[in-house]
Amino acid sequence: MLWHEVVRSASSAPGKNARRKFMDFKIRGSFLFTSFSIQLGYLGTKSCFRFKKFATETEARKFVADNLSIAGGKPTSGPPKTPASSSANFSRKRRFETGASSGAPTKKTKQENETIDAEFADAPVVYTDGACSSNGRKNARAGWGVYWGDDDENNEYGPVYGAATNNRGELIAVEKALEKAIEKKLPKVVIKTDSNLIVQTMDTWIHGWKRKGWKTSTGTDVLNKDVILKIDNLRQKIKVKFVHVRGHAGIDGNEKADELARKGAKMYNRSDDSELTNLS
């Protein structure tokens, strides 16, 4: 749907589309917006954008999974970047990827308080995160972080291997967390991540990609397949529960994992084979 068509539709029925989701298929990325006001605030009325609307958020996310996969080379979602306050120019997690919303951060969110089924009620919890400065650009530097608890000897971080992207950092963090959990001989573990793409990938989308020969609905390759396969193989050795939490919402474990991932990103060097820094 073209931009002017979206605006006309909204003007003719202002209440009807209030809860619909919109996805922008701009060349440099795809963004999910939950209202016209937010969409207009970020993109204005330029005619260079193309839009598609969905009745539900689930439909929008499924479309991205089928057409963009868990892309590693280009930004895949969220509003355009604003100048970062930190010298490392790390971008905040994108709205589509994390489900983050505006408002004062709270120590516990709805996701954080989500009841975990009885099987994982007593399972250790680990937070994972990825970080990338200049995500999607040639000078990108990406890393991963794994946080088990304050002063825990198993906390670790490092630079990504392969393409330097935020999504790849998120995936590698999960890979490292599972490797450590298996090394510790844990029977099960709960992995908390602020990347909803990770949860959807490992719980849902991976099954369709396997059936399609690791191709999206458009016939393109699923990116980061190598890391996804490693995670899939590792979870055959341990019971895993993936839980999505809001990013940058005051959740201590998530914030600590983010700090570690940023440290890992600063270590990124395309010619450097080192991957890991253990905090013990």
Q: Which residues are catalytic?
A: 129-130, 170, 194, 248, 258
**∠ CA(112), CA(266), CA(65), 5° rounding?**
50
Give me the amino acid identity at 45: T
Three-state DSSP state, 215: strand
Distance CA 280, CA 276 (A): 12
The residue count of the chain comes to 280
Angle between helix 166-183 and 252-266 (nearest 10): 110
The residue among 19, 64, 36 whose CA lies nearest residue 196 is 64
- Whether the CB-CB separation of 265 and 131 falls below 8 Å is answered with yes
**Around Cβ 233, how many Cβ atoms within 10 Å?**
11
